[in-house]
Copies of this chain bind each other. A is one copy, B any other.
Amino acid sequence: MAISLRRALIGAPLPTARALHERLSKVVALPVFASDAISSSAYATEAILVAILAGAGTSRLSAVLPIGFGIFLLLWIVSFSYRQTVLAYPTGGGSYIVARESLGIGAATIAGASLLIDYILTVAVSVAAGIAAVTSAFPFLRPHTVLLCAMAVALIALANLRGVRESGLLFSIPTYSFVASMLVTIAWGVLKAFSGYVPPPEPGVAPLAPPLGALASLPLFLALHAYASGCTALTGVEAISNGVQAFRPPEGRNAAVTMLWMAGILGVLFMGVTYLAWAFHVVPSAVAEGSGGETVVSKITRMAWGGKHGFYYVVQFTTMAVLVVAANTSFADFPRLSAILARDRFLPRQFANVGDRLVYNYGILTLAVLAVALIAILSGNVNGLLPLYAVGVFLSFTLSQAGMVRRWFRLRTPGWRHSAAINGFGACVTGIVLLVLAITKFHPSDANVLFRLPFGLRLPLIGDSVRAGAWLVVLLIPLMVGMFYRIHAHYLTAASQLTLVGYRMPPPPPNTIIVLVPSVNRGIIPALQYAKSLGQDTRALHIETEPEATPRLREEWDTWGLGIPLLIMESPYRSLVAPLFRYLDEVQTERRHMVTLVIPEFVAVKWWHKLLHNQSGLILKLALLRRKDVVVTNVRYYLAR
């Protein structure tokens, strides 16, 4: 029954030979790999606004426009830089692969760790933001945020367990309808703003300062923090580079074209939302409200269409849908990267096992469980999850591009100087952003300080709702790298102990067969016949817990014992284990002496019948688990009714 349920949910098994045919066209690959990046436009502008608001007044919110433009530029730098990676690695050029090839295994494992963490965060952030879009439209659903998130993650995981082609088809519609509905909303909003519409001023909100003036008047640290916060817009840009091999041939070229489509769409949407946030004087909902506040995209849409009706709901639903789909990007990448790490012996080998639907089941399930746990811990609060993000992304950006620079210098293919310059510029810019990100994670602007560190840095409390526990991610990366190395060391040690090179086979050890006789009845006959058939040094052992029953047992043994010598051990404390171990010690005096312990077991028909019989066999088995050179063998006798 479990099997047929599995079939219905996941589908019939696929043979290994079908692997090549599960490839994606560009139109299908875009939603599969780019939805993460594109959907970032749903929360990145809000992250900038929240950062400005936390450190300065509402009048400075207009700085979102120049800061947004700076991020827009960064997007293109990173995209062009990655375009080269995609072309150079047609079999998949994730940061881990690039760093491993050009920077060595140390940098590669750092990249691997930061990517794995970010895939988990992508799922958590995207799903939480998607559900926030729904609860913005329908506030009565807010108390069920975590449950809704968990259901969404389960749904995506299930789709991925079915296999990648179906996922592509399943997820195209949401992405394209999100892009379309956002473009229409932005166009309409821009028209409205150009035609002189000014929204009614909210109480307590100061009039906006001019954008560049607002930026110039921000404290430097705050400006950098706001910029770093907005960099969540770039999360997911690297997704295509990990999945090049899933494209139809020519893989590299198709992936590169898709990469630029993605950058174009994301750029337009992000700048459009940012422009409207400025034009409509949007103030983000108080951070204290957590996931309870209305999203910035919801406010913009409401203002563009003049209220919560009709097309407003279309935008909220497609936003939800694309964010849920964005989580799917990680469900393509996390299992693939963990399989690569597993093949390199940095993760348990099970992650490299291909399931019967040609997908990495272990990776999919691990990702789903960790993402749901993270969402549950932070109660599905997007503004609590976002600060954890971006550090890992920019770390892997920087490593990947630095690796590409090394690669150009090594290969010196035609035009290598030009390419190295592009990747070098990208590496520098993302490196600087990474530095800004890391520093701002350790420098909370408000009072929630846990420890004071040197250089005026401070470790915030985990309870800080804006940058809660973000420093944990900075610490987590070296911890994960350490774990990779311990796993690697174990596999190397195990391999060295298992190699047959230079191995001298020891002589076969002697083997004594001991059959346990709790009482003489029909149920032990198969075990006796079996033990005798092994045809060597066979003995029978009875452990005496009821001495009064022994004479009858001896008598019956004479008739039914098949001539096997019977030994009776006393057990004054009524224990089975102690006398058995005493006897084993007597038998196994040599250094290597195998004992085969044959335990008759009788199997009841109904489950509750099991409760009616002593579970001595199980107890003995557990007790013998750690005893060397003992092989436990259950010979079963089946009751008919």
Minimum Cβ distance to chain B for residue A28 (Å): 26
Indicate if A574 sits at the interface (CB-CB under 8 A): yes
Q: Are B523 and A602 in contact (CB-based, < 8 A)? A: no
Interface string of A497-526 (1 = CB under 8 A from B): 111100101001101000000001111010
| Given A16-B574, A349-B612, A533-B508: A521 in contact with B493 (beta carbons within 8 A) | no
**Chain B residue with minimal CB distance to A572?**
B15
How many copies of this chain are found per oligomer? 2
**Chain B minimum-CB-distance residue to A613:** B349
Tell me the bound Cα distance from A108 to B631 in angstroms.
47
Q: Chain B's nearest CB lies how many Å from the CB of A51?
A: 40
Closest B residue to A612 using CB positions: B348
A353 → B minimal CB distance (Å): 7
Chain A window 596-640, contacts with chain B (Cβ cutoff 8 Å), 1 for yes, 0 for no: 100000101000010111100000000000001001111110111
- A220 contacts partner chain B, Cβ-Cβ < 8 Å: no
Complex: A559 Cα to B502 Cα, angstroms: 13
Contact in complex: A508, B532 (CB < 8 Å): yes
With A349-B612, A349-B613, A633-B631 known to touch, is A535 a contact of B535 (CB < 8 Å)? yes
Which of B356, B493, B631 is within 8 Å of A530, CB to CB? B631
Least distance between A634 CB and chain B CB atoms (Å)? 7
A258 CA to B611 CA, complexed, in Å? 39
Task: Give the residues from 324 to 352 in chain A that come closer than 8 angstroms, CB to CB, to chain B.
Answer: 348-350
User: Quick check: B13 and A575 within 8 Å, CB to CB?
Assistant: yes
In chain A, residues 532-591, which have Cβ atoms closer than 8 Å to a Cβ of chain B? 532-536, 556, 559-560, 572-575
> Which residues from chain B contact A536 at a C-beta distance below 8 Å?
533, 535
Inter-subunit contact B533/A490 (CB<8 Å): no
Nearest-neighbor residue (CB-CB) of A532 within chain B: B508
Q: How many residues of chain A are within 8 Å of chain B by beta carbon?
A: 65
Closest chain B residue, CB of each to CB of A486: B608
Q: Assuming the A-B contacts A500-B520, A508-B529, are A628 and B638 also in contact, with contact meaning beta carbons closer than 8 angstroms in the complex? A: yes
Is the CB–CB distance between A500 and B529 below 8 Å? no
User: Assuming the A-B contacts A511-B530, A521-B500, A574-B354, are A494 and B633 also in contact, with contact meaning beta carbons closer than 8 angstroms in the complex?
Assistant: no
Q: Is the CB of B533 within 8 A of A500?
A: no
A513 nearest CB neighbor, chain B only: B534
Contact B594 A14 (CB under 8 A): no
Which residues of the other chain, B, contact A535 by a CB distance below 8 angstroms?
A: 534-536
Within 8 A of B (CB), among A466-500: 487, 490-491, 493-494, 497-500
Supply 11 further A-B pairs (C-beta < 8 A) apart from A14-B573, A493-B639. Answer: A16-B574, A349-B612, A353-B614, A490-B609, A494-B604, A499-B522, A505-B525, A508-B532, A533-B594, A628-B638, A631-B633
5 closest residue pairs by CB, A with B: A498-B521, A13-B573, A508-B529, A15-B572, A498-B522
